Chain A
Amino acid sequence: MISFLIKNIFKGFISLFGVATLLFFLFNLLGDPSRMLLDQREDQEQLENIKIKYGLNLPLHTQYFNYLNDLSPISFHSTHQNDYSFLPKNKSRITFLSTNDFVGVLKFPNLRNSFQKNDKEVSSILVETLPNTLLLAVTAISIAFIIGLLLGIVSALQVNTFLDKCIMVISTLGMSLPSFFSAILFAWLFGFVLHKYTGLGMTGNIVEVDDFGEGTKIVWKNAILPSIVLGIRPLAVIVQLTRNSLLDILSKDYIRTAKSKGLSTYVIIKKHALKNALNPVITTLSGWFASLLAGAVFVEYIFNWNGLGKEIVNALNSSDLPVISGSILTIAAFFILLNILVDISYSILDPSVELK
């Protein structure tokens, strides 16, 4: 297990390096971000000040090195205060090397500061937004898993009946609806037209602030519509996967043996069939969960959910590269972590699977 973890974490770092490199060079094609920090008036002197402040005046290879140096937990920094790579005193570090001109430190990865938000740390932005996106993704995947599993089981047990066909049609519809369309539709229908009956709003966050800034409250019902919308597609996939997987398992000999012993359908499903049928579902879940983090953009935008997706959209519109870069790297890290957890969960679900 330990060697498995070490190997996969190392591979993860390589992947993150690749993502960071790709991001850096792609963003340099997006146009000069320093211009977006000016108002409508061009001011060359001001532009130069901005470029110096954010190190954008340096040669591209130097900018690349500084970028990786900031992200890396092991990094080297100039001791001269005017150099871009100078590490301010308020940044936590453990120094392992010190010379007149540079220091080598162990530190937390520095995702840098937002261009547009006057140097607000990207890590602070992530702390504010990522939990909201995680909450949305967890709720969406839970809804998708529970309801998808139930419907998949019903569909498998009622195979080729009218009920089975209805479930399949709904599942197909769910898979083909784009998330931005279903978000707009649900927001309008349940949050506006039927607002009196549902009590749900078109927008909202988990934490709501009153208009006088005096009261805050947790409003769980604000998560209902965005979670349902976000969960529609994985739900549809889980229904079909569960159904097909269960049908395959139910045709096995050991299930026939269990039936012949007089065990009830409930016991057969719960104790014998479901565990084996869950393997492909777990694989799908992990992939969907990770993609929900990235794919919550439309849903967060429509429902004004203060999550990472909405932050990324704002950052893209204003060329706020540190925010875009930090967000994408965080999502990539989640993907990697989830893959590791899924591999571990396989070995738990199926003892015959070995972690290598």
Chain B
Amino acid sequence: MIKKIISFLCIVLCLISCQDKVSKHDLSEVFRYNEKDNITSLDPAFAKNEPNVWATNQLFNGLVVFDDSLNVKPCIAKSWSISNENKTYEFILRDDVYFHKNIAFGKDSTRTVTAHDFEYSFNRILDPKVASSGRWVMQNVKSFKAVNDSVFRINLQTAFPPFLGLLSMQYCTVVPKEAVEYYGTEFRSNPVGTGPFQFKLWVENTKLVFRKNPLYFEKDEKGNKLPYLEAVAVTFYADKQTEFLQFIQGNSDVLYDLHTSYKDELLSPTGILLPKYKDKLALDKTPYLITEYIAFFMEGETVDNNLLIRKAINVGFDRAKMLRYLRNNIGNPATGFIPKGLPAHHQENIDLYQPEKAKAYIEQYKKETGNLHPSIKIATNSSYTDLFEFIQRELQGIGLNIELEILPSPILRQLKANGKLPTFRVGWIADYPDAENFLSLFYSKNFAPQGPNYSHYKNPVFDELYEKSLGITDRNERVKIYKQMDSIIMEEVPVVSLFYDEIIRFKHENVKGLTTNPTNLLNLKKVYKTK
């Protein structure tokens, strides 16, 4: 019996001590972050959500990028020219950009990027068999062609000033044909790009590791090669408590998107970092190019889309109070549809909250329609229940009854796209940092399900201004038109803007060089950690 117990313990000890070689690197060389929403693919053709975009941004490059101030900068394209009434873009490529070393390239294991690679990558986005979610990026593109190894030309059907913004998206990054064909459907988990980091290992739902790309072409201002970090490690804790506590324990370097359950642990009611964490953590806050809003389906005549009801809702609840008590002041009360951070945003400090005016609108509605108990139903998903319960209570105070319909996201999305919901919550994130991206939601040729105009809002004056803006290359002139369009939206209220989100990021004090930008793109090439 004793021999059996000893044998058992020996086996257990052997199993406990089973391990491969352990890394010799220091933890200050690796940047660790958590992705609670899971990464579904490392293929940039499927960079459709933030987790995928952040990961692919470390591995791939495109023709151009945006800097933190939202200015277009060269990337693989070192320069470009625009001609033919702003319909032809010609890019001159760098000749020192190499793909990550990979067996797919044969014995040389790498090669330089050429214009033909961009032609291949763009064709891939359009390929129906690939079924990329980024196909829409090319909808205004008439043709594209590699003129030679260094010159890539794109012709548009109509002028589109924000086009360079589209090219900065992950969908438009370059991939090598050899690797895509070599790996086939496994390219999603064996990505090969040109980015500052290269793929090392992915144990799905457990850990994703990137390593420094020794062939990366960019250098810092002092001529040092980028990136500074040796590795990036991504974990996938789905539980918010676990994510939060892992960050507090020092097992991850940043924490984004603080859940409401834990906001009071780190932030004061006014949204400032609590004193007990001031020596250990840093808080970064930046406007995020997201507008959260309530949309009304404008077709047909219903209680929901009555102008007086819409106006009453727009001025009937206190946005500042909602953000203060439910989001610890994370976010900015909406004053228009274009979010803070874009030049066309309404800069004036206006408070839309006017409860007496709201009551007056309701009374007027009751007189005009004879409906003494107006009631509407707002559809949303469970993540926004607390905000909408607040709005519900506020609007009940002005005489409007609100019912909430909480739906799972897939069903909400389907009903919204098919015009089956009279009133619903939407959040619009900037695909690229230009106000046109937000205003296109009201262009009548973009009716859902063909486009993102979920409200089916139609206004010939608005449409005319929108089409006019597309022909103007001067940014300041375009901003003036965008402001006019935003004013029309505020006046006609096809949507009620709730707030503009903010990027809230906590990081440990030893993390340096991590900047924020209004598109919330994670850029790690200049990040380093002190010991």
- Residues of A with Cβ closer than 8 Å to B? 30-33, 35-47, 49-50, 52-53, 113, 116-120, 125, 128-129, 184, 187-188, 192, 195, 202-203, 205, 207-218, 220-221, 301-304, 306, 310-311, 313-314, 317-319
Contact = CB atoms under 8 A, between A and B. Distances in A.
A44 B41 CA distance: 22
Interface stretch (B128-136, B309-317, B345-353, B397-405): B128-136
A304 B239 contact: yes
Contacts of A116: 40
Contacts of B410: 30-33, 35-36, 318-319
Given A213-B209, A304-B239, 12 more contacts: A30-B410, A39-B49, A117-B41, A120-B188, A202-B242, A203-B242, A207-B206, A218-B16, A220-B12, A304-B236, A304-B238, A313-B238
A41 B201 CA distance: 31
B242 A187 contact: yes
B451 A211 contact: no
A316 B357 CA distance: 44
Interface in B123-176: 128-129, 131-136, 139
Contacts of B411: 30-31
Given A210-B23, A304-B242, A217 B18 contact: yes
Contacts of A47: 449
B413 interface: yes
Contact of B185 (A50, A119, A311): A119
Contacts of B246: 202-203
A188 B239 CA distance: 12
Contact of A46 (B135, B205, B417): B135
B227 interface: no
8 contacts: A31-B413, A40-B429, A49-B131, A128-B204, A203-B237, A205-B203, A210-B22, A220-B15
Interface string B202-243: 011111010100000000000000000011010111110110
Contacts of A311: 205
Given A118-B43, A128-B204, A202-B246, A37 B231 contact: no
A30 B415 CA distance: 11
Contact of A209 (B129, B203, B428, B451): B203
A217 B245 contact: no
A37 B448 CA distance: 16
B414 interface: yes
Contact of A42 (B19, B129, B211, B449): B449
A213 B201 contact: yes
Contacts of A306: 203-206
Contact of B131 (A32, A46, A216, A313): A46
A75 B80 CA distance: 56
Contacts of B414: 31-32, 35
B437 to A, nearest CB: 10
B509 to A, nearest CB: 19
A349 to B, nearest CB: 23
Interface of B: 12, 15-16, 18-23, 25, 27, 29-30, 32, 38, 40-41, 43, 46, 48-49, 128-129, 131-136, 139, 185, 188-189, 200-201, 203-207, 209, 211, 230-231, 233, 235-239, 241-242, 245-246, 249, 408-411, 413-414, 417, 428-429, 431, 448-452, 454
A45 B410 CA distance: 19
B206 A38 contact: no
A302 B431 CA distance: 33
B22 A217 contact: yes
B89 to A, nearest CB: 22
Q: Which of B20, B131, B135, B189 neighbours the largest number of chain A CB atoms within 10 Å of its CB?
A: B131
A211 B48 contact: no
- Choose among B132, B206, B452 the residue with the greatest number of A CB atoms under 10 Å from its CB: B206
Contacts of A192: 245, 249
Given A38-B48, A311-B205, A211 B30 contact: yes
- Give 8 closest A-B pairs by Cβ, nearest first: A217-B19, A213-B209, A213-B201, A39-B48, A213-B200, A31-B410, A211-B233, A31-B411
B136 A46 contact: yes
Contact of B211 (A39, A44, A213): A213
B417 A42 contact: yes
A53 B408 CA distance: 25
Task: Name the residue among B200, B203, B236 with the largest chain A CB count within 10 angstroms.
Answer: B203
Contacts of A39: 48-49, 133-134, 431
A195 B206 contact: no
A118 B188 contact: yes
Contact of A301 (B239, B249, B429): B239
A41 B431 contact: yes
Contacts of A319: 410
Contacts of A45: 135
Contacts of B200: 212-213
Contact of A215 (B22, B27, B185): B22
Given A40-B428, A301-B238, A211 B203 contact: no
Contacts of B209: 209, 211-213
A317 to B, nearest CB: 8
B20 A211 contact: no
Nearest to A125: B204
A113 B131 CA distance: 14
A60 B116 CA distance: 42
Contacts of A202: 242, 245-246
Given A188-B241, A213-B200, A118 B185 contact: yes
Contacts of B132: 46
Nearest to B18: A218
Contact of A31 (B188, B245, B408): B408
A184 B239 CA distance: 10
Nearest to B189: A120
B135 A43 contact: yes
A188 B451 CA distance: 46
A123 to B, nearest CB: 13
A221 B12 CA distance: 11
Given A45-B135, A118-B185, A212 B230 contact: yes
Nearest to B427: A40
A211 B27 contact: yes
Give the one of A205, A214, A216, A310 with max B CB within 10 A.
Answer: A214
Nearest to A35: B413
Contacts of B139: 43
Contacts of A37: 48, 131, 133
Contacts of A195: 249
Contacts of B448: 42
Nearest to B12: A220
A155 B351 CA distance: 69
A36 B19 contact: no
Contact of B20 (A50, A52, A216): A216
Nearest to B49: A39
A107 to B, nearest CB: 19
Nearest to B417: A42
Contacts of A42: 417, 448-452, 454
B19 A216 contact: yes
Contact of B231 (A205, A211, A216): A211
Contacts of B449: 42, 44, 47
Given A42-B448, A209-B203, A117 B233 contact: no
B293 to A, nearest CB: 13
A319 to B, nearest CB: 4
